[in-house]
Amino acid sequence: MGLLRIATAPLGTAGGDARGAMTDETRRGARGMNDESPPGADPYTAYDDFNLPSYVGLPSFQKLPWVTDADALAARAPDVAIVGAPFDDAVSHRPGARFGPRAIRQASYHSGSINSLALGIEPYDWLDVVDAGDAPVTPMDVERAHAVIERKVLEVARSGAIPIILGGDHSITYPSASAVAAAVAPRRLGVVHFDAHADAANATWGNLRSHGAPMRRLIESGAVAGRNFVQVGLRGYWPGPETLEWMAEQGMRWHLMTEIEERGAEAVVADAIAQALDGPEVIYLSVDIDVIDPGMAPGTGTPEPGGMLTRELLRAIRQVVGSVELAAMDVVEVAPPFDHAEVTAAAAHRCVLEAISALAARRRDAGGSPRR
């Protein structure tokens, strides 16, 4: 049996560098997935980790370099950093969103390089995007989990990166947005919140950190002014009149799904942006995947029929991120045990790609320079 001779070119590492040492050269220098040059004489031409198939190697988001250490993040100061918040002990109904970050990271059939057809941009030519790993949560202790999520998001935000947090149940928005509000201060934070649910209850069976209550906590704590907390896509049969009354007293604005049906998503989202920015300068975008109709996104804990189309939400994210200064974003409530064919995880993954692409397009359109 002949031995394969593989010494002529270094093979790509099927794992990248867990210390986040992948350089721009290794990311861009080697052959890409769709290299248009003819096959070379050497069939073992190196493909670095970024250019290997999505299912090969360590599953960082979009095969971006892992930069999990706070000091390394601060030194690198990336433009955007993905953060996992794999916690779901605050749910009122079906659990499973703790598996969301891993499922979202894996829901790609691309190698690292991407080209947004909608926006005509290769975002990683314009932005340094890394995967900062997960907050070190443990189950069964909501306070501890929220504390480590808040610390992790604060580390990322203080590095100068825009955190994009993958949930996790929606309770994680309380520590995440609290951290972001602290990091951007004294500039004030507005929130655009896509969801079937208002999540502004006082408590759920007595628990103040429930996934049905984070928006109330953020307003009560002063992290976000009620009048700049704007919700889009609410529908179904919750909350009750007392909670809606409390929301109105805070000046919260919300746009029901019925309004989207009547006016179209683009007009409604334009209003939501203006309301959230009526005072604040920067926006936290919170996307509960259950804003999408469960027919298109079944993998979630509290599915409510009659929601947005996936394509409407993706367009809405381009609209928001393209017209505000984004401070942070989260995508929550992806519960893989209830998903089918990874359709919900893929929708969440694309929500993130739309945001990254829109951030890159914003930099380009503002006259910025590409990174290379």
Residues that bind Mn ion (CB under 5 A): 195-197, 288, 290
User: Closest CB to Mn ion among 105 and 197?
Assistant: 197
The rounded Cα 156 to chain-centroid distance in angstroms is 14
Cβ burial of 41 (10 Å; 0-12, 13-18, 19+) is exposed
HSE toward the beta carbon, residue 66, CA cutoff 13 A: 16
DSSP state, 111?
Answer: -
> CB of residue 178 vs Mn ion: minimum separation in angstroms?
19
Given the structure tokens 């509290």, which residue do they identify? Answer: 302
Spell out the alpha helix ranges (H) of the chain: 24-28, 70-76, 100-106, 142-158, 173-184, 214-220, 241-249, 257-263, 265-276, 310-323, 343-365
> CB of residue 286 vs Mn ion: minimum separation in angstroms?
10
User: Closest CB to Mn ion among 283 and 332?
Assistant: 332
Instruction: Return d(Cα 198, Cα 218) in angstroms, integer.
Output: 13
User: Closest CB to Mn ion among 44 and 238?
Assistant: 238
User: Closest CB to Mn ion among 195 and 342?
Assistant: 195
> Residue type at 31?
R
> CB of residue 304 vs Mn ion: minimum separation in angstroms?
7
> CB of residue 161 vs Mn ion: minimum separation in angstroms?
26
User: Closest CB to Mn ion among 196 and 313?
Assistant: 196
User: Closest CB to Mn ion among 56 and 244?
Assistant: 244
Whether 333 and 197 have beta carbons less than 8 Å apart is answered as no
Query: Residues with Cβ < 8 Å from 121, sequence gap 6 or more?
Result: 115, 357, 360, 361, 364
The rounded Cα 9 to chain-centroid distance in angstroms is 37
β-strands 253-256, 229-234 pairing: parallel
> CB of residue 288 vs Mn ion: minimum separation in angstroms?
4
> CB of residue 274 vs Mn ion: minimum separation in angstroms?
24
Bridge partners of 80? 129, 162
Cβ burial of 262 (10 Å; 0-12, 13-18, 19+) is exposed
User: Closest CB to Mn ion among 127 and 268?
Assistant: 268
User: Closest CB to Mn ion among 67 and 91?
Assistant: 91
> CB of residue 254 vs Mn ion: minimum separation in angstroms?
13
Judged by DSSP in three states, 119 sits in coil
Residue nearest to Mn ion (CB): 197
> CB of residue 10 vs Mn ion: minimum separation in angstroms?
48
State the DSSP string of 24-86. HHHHHSS--TT--SPP-S-TT----GGGS-TTSS---GGGPPB--SHHHHHHH--SEEEEEE-
Instruction: Return d(Cα 101, Cα 61) in angstroms, integer.
Output: 9
User: Closest CB to Mn ion among 131 and 339?
Assistant: 339
User: Closest CB to Mn ion among 128 and 195?
Assistant: 195
Neighbours of 349 (CB within 10 A): 22
> CB of residue 246 vs Mn ion: minimum separation in angstroms?
18
Token pair, residue 313, equals 């939400």
> CB of residue 91 vs Mn ion: minimum separation in angstroms?
10
